[in-house]
Amino acid sequence: GENVEQHPSTLSVQEGDSAVIKCTYSDSASNYFPWYKQELGKRPQLIIDIRSNVGEKKDQRIAVTLNKTAKHFSLHITETQPEDSAVYFCTPPDSWGKLQFGAGTQVVVTP
């Protein structure tokens, strides 16, 4: 989507290392920030989300951090495993509910 930038576009990590993906948005009205994971040939599924009243949320090896001032939020995966290999999407909604996805980040975890 034109209001969303996601970096990097591809990320190759060694198993056990950490991965960080950043999503930059333009609509300041956004207050809900989800991350989706799409495994090859499957549908996207929510893995973690955060609301604007908190700066960080963690769920086991996955965390999301939010910087509303700088208008970006990031996905952190620690102790990466082969099953983390997938495409990850961010989608900060605009104020009209027109959900635009970032281009996605292909994460490849090598043993």
Partner 1 sequence: NAGVTQTPKFQVLKTGQSMTLQCAQDMNHEYMSWYRQDPGMGLRLIHYSVGAGITDQGEVPNGYNVSRSTTEDFPLRLLSAAPSQTSVYFCASSYSSTATNSPLHFGNGTRLTVT
* Contact set with partner 1 (CB under 8 A): 1, 30-32, 34, 36, 42-46, 49, 51, 89, 91, 93, 95-104
How far is CA 3 from each of CA 11, 27, 55, rounded to the nearest angstrom? 22, 7, 21
Nearer to partner 1, 80 or 104 (CB): 104
Q: How far is the CB of 101 from partner 1 (least distance, A)?
A: 4
Q: How far is the CB of 91 from partner 1 (least distance, A)?
A: 8
